[in-house]
Amino acid sequence: MSRTARVERITKETKVLVEIDLDGTGAAEISTGVGFYDHMLHQIARHGGFDLTVRTVGDLEIDAHHTIEDTALALGAAFDQALGDKAGIRRYGSATVPMDEVLVRAAVDLSGRPYVVHDEPVLAPYIGPVYATSMTRHIWESFGQAARVTLHVDVLRAARPGGHPDAHHVVEAQFKAVSRALREATSIDPRAAGAIPSTKGAL
């Protein structure tokens, strides 16, 4: 069964297209107009093993908020659509990812119940010219809401000796950890025999 999705989200502020194949090879075509965000979405594809296309045109003349938020919403909706009834999946996934001095843990439950917990240290306000680091929490909240998942993201270690946290490393490690957790949770469990992984019979 094909586990693919195509989602278009069009508002007065943005126009977003997301296509995903959960059983891909990590191929990606990403263009949001926000360079660092593109780099992070490439992590989702590569480390999740998903084929991912994202094309966003947004009101960057105002700021990057709408572009980043609406892309995360469309990405979450694509995951939800591609998973279908979730029969046969593992459902739960977790990963702990180091990136130099940073250590991040992510855990996901494809529960059908959106709930996000996010914990990170105070970071420099921007990475690059337009990516506000305050948006990282908002990405996970928007993604979790649209994907209907429970997601916990915790930065376990970040400070460099005698210095402030490297914002780039802290955010990138989060994307890599979430990607690996999603890879595990969305994968097919050969022992499940196609059953929905819930005593309720639905997710």
pLDDT digits (tens, 9 = 90+) for 72-82: 999 999 999 99
- Which residue(s) pair with 127 in the sheet? 131
Q: What is the pLDDT of residue 1?
A: 75
Largest CA distance in the chain: 53
Count CA atoms closer than 13 A to 107's CA, side-chain side: 5
Q: What is the pLDDT of residue 162?
A: 74
Q: Average per-residue pLDDT in the chain? A: 96
Domain range annotation of the chain: 4-186
Contacts of 11 (CB under 8 A, 6+ apart): 66, 70
Closest by CA position to 72, among listed 164, 146, 176: 146
Does the domain at residues 4-186 carry the CATH identifier 3.30.230.40? Answer: yes
Q: What is the pLDDT of residue 181?
A: 98
The two beta strands, 92-99 and 102-109, are: antiparallel
Give pTM, 2 decimals: 0.97
Q: What is the pLDDT of residues 65-74, one digit of tens each?
A: 999 999 999 9
